[in-house]
Structure 1
């Protein structure tokens, strides 16, 4: 049995985290603020600390640094939970964005409890992708957006975790309709969380607050990983990957490129029609790597193409899913890389989106 300290100023989320940990067989200490939590940590020296970031008084990152500054607690595994990734998140052993799923939370707890002091430094994540802007007005705007994100995602996280626990504990007498309603509710909560994240990210891009972590990326193996994920996720679709014989190395933030491609492939699946086939092609051109994602669906009229990357634009005939920010974010991230995102489409003949990235010299 392990001792886990949980810190969150929201009673509902503190309660559900504590319930999950208790069901896993651990002793739970709980606190509503960083200063209270620091006293508990010093008195009981827990095996793991899980803390929210945005709390009154001491923030989660400030609490983390206080823990690291105490030689008795310095090696205690620390999981930071937040609606938006704050500066300093990389100092924790793990960062969980809200809303967090039950499976993700339980896995992070298990990994945290296995972490040893010798491995802590190697387990840290890379530097955060977002950094606070220096302009005072932009900083106030960024802080406001983070607060709004926190205030929305915290109850979403609590609702999601409680719903997942309810579905898990449904007895054998539960009928299929009850389980289906639970699954639908989870999907709607995830849609709300995605919308909040997209609005926040779109605003950060517009304000120039996102910084890339660029390094050489071998695109052939990278794309094999992306396509492998989609083949596992959507076995009802055929994903065809066409690669050149030679290596193609771009200078890129791999996770941001993955974000772009996942958006493009998701749209290809959504609008691919009866063909259920998506093609991903990698080619070299002078100084550039070109990644094309093609579907054989209904396509778009020429009049719609100039607006396709605009914020909140949604394709004609869309079924109500989506929020009109995905392609805007993908295009903005491509431009941050010094690249482009272009579209070629014709009504009735499908669409091709082509991402251009600079090659490594």
Structure 2
């Protein structure tokens, strides 16, 4: 219950304040001979009321103070003398001072309240914008916006998003009735704020279109009855928050579109690179195989045994090249699908070196292979077949780009609880800034028109090494010298084999 539109407690506190001032003035009247001096006590009470109460309650406190002062201290018989000429100017001064102080105090409190509200609104907008900036998911953005607005207005909040097909749909976290969806669609059609106060449709609330910078992206609804309690100031705040949500959702849509375009461009780029590589790396060996096979097929006895062997070796070499090409494609598919499972055992890196060199002996024939492995290099817990494949790919890559007759140096050493393996070659080298790019899928360095390959070998190496918990990188030692380095964890100690003594019983 309110009294004259004010809190009734203020009037009660004002009455208590007048009684307290009267008690203090009565005590002081025993020592003060001028009644006007006692008016200061009431003035102090009035000033206190002006700083704490509303203007109406302050005026009532002033009136009661004047009545009490006049009754208790000015009238000898307890009769009112408010219009007495001697006290008229004093009373007028008290009233003026009360009005001025009450107005100033009320304005100060109002400004303080507005400042606090603005600070709270600014903090709310800031917190909401920070939360919205941390995600690109439209559903997550809608949930964040609804949570902030619900806490601010203490009302259930719904959010409807315009789908790609132009249909307005409630977000996943939003539980909207058919009436509320219909009200949201009406707001979307009118493209302006709608206040629905009818309780018959169960869609009471304020519905705002979420206007982005280019188009409307959805509708925000603050539901509940008693819409009159939402002031114009609160409505403006709601519109500000709705605009923030709209821009965030629009940004999310643009981000998704950009990501889809990026993926599409990458897919087209990879497809073109794959088709280009396939057309070259499959057609070339197939042409050689078909040419050699046709000679053998049409042989009328003129082809010597030596020529037949050369043609057979050519067919075998081109088939092997084609086989390695297809294996790279299959390996990359397995690694990307996550179907590869490591079978780690304690193995020697020296054995992997030997197996890799043996598998690539034909490609390495024009080069001098140098291996540097310390005698005390420990065993490594690894999948030997996969690490062997890494070395095969690195040697094959070195053979493609190295100058014939130069050294290809393979080293292995223990360093800071890791085994560091490197393959160095003298050849075309890599350009500055290519150290990371050459590990990308389908990327080929140098004259990719003259050197065979699909650009997957180093990508496969990176995936295998990462599966082992290691690192791989390329170093540009000199303009024509390139070193590929990878590491494997060696923190665990290999098991030791203890020979048991056999005692023969006599």
TM-score, normalised with respect to structure 2 = 0.36
Q: Which has the larger radius of gyration?
A: 2
TM-score, normalised with respect to structure 1 = 0.49
More helix by share: 2
